[in-house]
Amino acid sequence: MTKPIIGIIGRRAAMVNKNHCEGNIVLYNYLTPLDNVNASYIGLITNNRYDVIDDRILDLCDGILMIGGIEIKSYHIKIIEYAIKNGIPFLGICLGCQALGLSTLTGANLLNLDNELSNNTHVNELVYGNSSHNHKVHLKENSLLYNLFGSTISVNSNHHYALPKVSEPMIVTGTSEDGVIEAIEHIDPNIFAVGVQWHPEYMESMQPLFEEFVNRAKNRSK
């Protein structure tokens, strides 16, 4: 059977070499949970002008994954809008969650948690394995994440920024105990557009999320 193709939006970063070049990278941590469910993947790489990715490339994708990063660009938003419009399952992690939320929030800015919280406990070292849990997230009943994991989960955390709110068609489906938005989903359960602020790629317990994402991609590929 043909494997579903997941398009991965990499993050721009300085390469560690003598020429001090920039590159577009994807950490292996994001690939392992996709390998575990027999998915293929391609990189969605923009040029130095941050031009939008060609629609013909996006049409190759059965699902799109946006990983953590540093800065949201306009082409990120355009990819998300294209994915939702064309029924391509989208999973946003950390910065990807923030971009998904901002895609329906015109003119909104992210919250700087270092300023908003007297003690920002959301910045911690990420360590692979189930031991890397930093705080609890309460999930909205009957949401996709609730159906996968139950009402409360323990997650890792490493972010200075968070969404201030969301607007429909996105809804908040997970919050931390200090009120930070931790998970968002499309209001239509038939549309897989999910964002999580934590890093499931470091957590073995989060494999069901990747399985659901890839299963939705498989259904679209058929």
Set 97, 159, 185, 201: catalytic member:
201
Q: How far apart (Å, rounded) are the C-alpha atoms in residues 220 and 222? A: 5
**Three-state SS letters, 37-52:** CCCEEEEECCCCCCCC
Active-site residue flag, 61 = no
Contacts of 203 (CB under 8 A, 6+ apart): 129, 130, 132, 133, 155, 156
Angstrom CA distances, 153 to 66, 81, 133, 177, 200, stand at 22, 29, 9, 11, 12
How many CA atoms does the CB half-sphere of 139 hold within 13 Å? 20
Q: Which of 76, 186, 199, 212 is catalytic?
A: 199
Residue 21 among the catalytic residues: no
Pairing of strands 5-9, 63-66: parallel
HSE of 195 in the Cβ direction (CA atoms, 13 Å)? 28
Active site residue 94: yes
User: Smallest Cα–Cα separation from 106: which of 186, 167, 187, 193?
Assistant: 167
Which residues lie closer than 8 Å to 220 by C-beta, 6 or more apart? 4, 62, 63, 87, 88, 89
Catalytic residue among 94, 97, 159, 186: 94
Q: Which helix (H) or strand (E) holds 193?
A: strand 193-196
Q: Which residues contact 142 (CB under 8 A, 6 or more apart)?
A: none
Catalytic residue positions, numbered: 94, 199, 201
